[in-house]
Structure 1
């Protein structure tokens, strides 16, 4: 810059005003070009930093969604199995041979197996509740990510309904007619001792119980709703995972 000042000063002193003006304009042009280059470099650095953050967000979301796909596959299989077991019990209620139940049929009647599906929500909630959402580029992906927490809430609420039916209604209804010791496996007690201390259960009366029947029907309805929810949520999770995979491949 000092060299430029000396040159412009000499031109001004020598009276070469036209040359001075041309030189001054050239100097201004060089400064403008330098500023533009610096701005461009800074802008490229910002874009690079943003892309790094964006990729990290996509990677964490993609990993979480893939884990949820595995969990949803398992839950769909579980809900399908539970629905079939409930329908089999309802068929038993309609039969006239309730006093001649086999071991497998009794096990089906008192089946309260239920394992809630705990989907991962950390990454998706982090994106939706922080400025990370601003780094998402695709409009479709943004819409999917914004809507996903509501889908998860609906899924969790339905899980809670099923759990409430089983724990607070179905289990107490079963315990009125079936000895809890019947539910224990034979490997936990000697079979002879089990028969000695077991209080007789009345499965036929259980099947005729209106309370039990109502709980069973309610559980079936809520399980079917949750099965539909799980299938729908899996499809949306799959779409999101696919979109994220595309973004990571770019």
Structure 2
């Protein structure tokens, strides 16, 4: 092809047809420019295609992370709801003790089973953090979706789980220590704090302590019992608020999944 064009140029120059040669040269330059532009367009198309494939892959990971968040929120809601219900029984036992009934074994049982900790939600930000750190989020054309991602991860999925009923929980524990004696319950006392720090599960049972004899409350002063009762009630309110927040996170995650699937035409169903 190059030899063909070179031959044409030589023939035009040999015949002194300079004007035609000039037009030919201009045409050849235009053809070269067009070729370069086509090559650039093809290259851009390939890069955009690769970028879209990577973006699609990242969004699939975000969807999986969001599904994980929904599962974690469900677990959090269910376990904390069980704690709230168990603490209702603890309050009933304390109320009976205030009225003069011996509820020592029940108070030990419910305090150890349902008053040792609460379930904390840990959500998955890995895919979103990768989008941010790699700068890939800037390539997403749908800026509304980018804002939704930011809103979820920077506000809902980050700030909301930070609300934890820690203060209410610590107040409840402080009140408990004022009057519950662990004398004779060394194995339970030794494991009490480790259960809090390692892994909390309401499946852990303490029923055998109800079979122990001579369990007595340590000076069950009515005022101390009342303080404990009130601190438990406040902790339950905090837990209910925490559950409400987790429900909000779950709903927001579900909405974001639907928006991502619509934008990227993902057809797999949400489990």
TM range (shorter): 0.7 to 0.9
RMSD: 3.2
Cα deviation for residue 66 of structure 1 reads 0.8
Cα deviation for residue 108 of structure 1 reads 3.5
1:165 counterpart = 2:181: no
**As a proportion of its length, which structure holds more helix?**
1
Cα deviation for residue 48 of structure 1 reads 1.3
CA contact (8 A) 1:61 1:124 kept: yes
State the match for 1:154 in structure 2.
159
CA contact (8 A) 2:66 2:257 kept: yes
State the match for 1:50 in structure 2.
51
SS of 1:99's equivalent? coil
Q: Distance in 1 between matches of 2:100 and 2:148?
A: 51
CA contact (8 A) 1:177 1:206 kept: no
State the match for 1:65 in structure 2.
66
State the match for 1:34 in structure 2.
35
1:231 counterpart = 2:247: yes
Match of residue 132, structure 1, among 132, 136, 150: 136
Cα deviation for residue 82 of structure 1 reads 3.0
Change (3 A) 1:63 1:151: same
SS of 2:119's equivalent? coil
Cα deviation for residue 12 of structure 1 reads 2.3
SS of 2:118's equivalent? coil
Cα deviation for residue 92 of structure 1 reads 5.6
Match of residue 216, structure 2, among 200, 213, 231: 200
Cα deviation for residue 62 of structure 1 reads 1.2
**Structure 1: gaps of 5 or more residues:** none
CA contact (8 A) 2:175 2:227 kept: yes
Change (3 A) 1:94 1:78: same
Q: TM-score, normalised by structure 2?
A: 0.74
Q: TM-score, normalised by structure 1?
A: 0.79
Change (3 A) 1:33 1:98: farther
Q: Distance in 2 between matches of 1:91 and 1:243?
A: 46
Change (3 A) 1:140 1:2: same
